[in-house]
């Protein structure tokens, strides 16, 4: 029985389905669309700009699906809360990412609550 539980946990880390809820990632993904997510995203190249990720919201813990716009230490062109400022330049803090929805008119994302700690990343959408 322990072997079955272990294999099940491994399979879940490699890929499991999730269902999109809401319109914040339209037109890329639509409400009700099924996606495959890996928790073992380091096996698939780690996190890169433009990856789509599942994260826990730093505000309320809700699960969000968003696109990675900024990586740790990257200079940003947005004036968002909690970006580190050095002179006139703003940076994503170390150990955080800046995420945005593809539908900016309805998305609540890093433009609203700032960068998301890396330990809030749940997984990466496989495309």
Which residues, 6 or more positions from 35, have their beta carbon under 8 angstroms from its beta carbon?
Answer: 17, 18, 19, 20, 29, 65, 125, 126
Contact 17, 34 (CB under 8 A): yes
Residue 106 tokens read as 């309805």
Residue 126 tokens read as 């496989």
Whole-angstrom distance, CA of residue 98 vs CA of residue 114:
7
Whole-angstrom distance, CA of residue 116 vs CA of residue 59:
10
Please choose, from the candidates 48, 58, 64, 61, the residue with its C-alpha nearest in 3D space to the C-alpha of residue 80. Answer: 58
Where in the sequence numbering do the catalytic residues fall?
24, 66
């Amino acid at each position: 029985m322990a072997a079955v539980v272990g294999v099940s946990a491994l399979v879940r880390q490699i890929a499991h389905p999730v269902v999109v809820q809401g319109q914040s990632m339209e037109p890329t993904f639509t409400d009700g669309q099924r996606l495959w997510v890996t928790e073992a995203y380091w096996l698939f190249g780690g996190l890169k700009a433009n990856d789509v990720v599942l994260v826990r919201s730093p505000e309320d813990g809700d699960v969000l699906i968003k696109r990675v716009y900024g990586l740790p230490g990257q200079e940003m062109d947005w004036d968002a809360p909690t970006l580190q400022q050095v002179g006139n330049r703003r940076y994503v803090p170390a150990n955080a990412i800046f995420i945005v929805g593809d539908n900016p008119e309805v998305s609540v994302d890093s433009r609203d609550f700032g960068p998301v700690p890396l330990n809030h990343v749940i997984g990466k959408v496989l495309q």
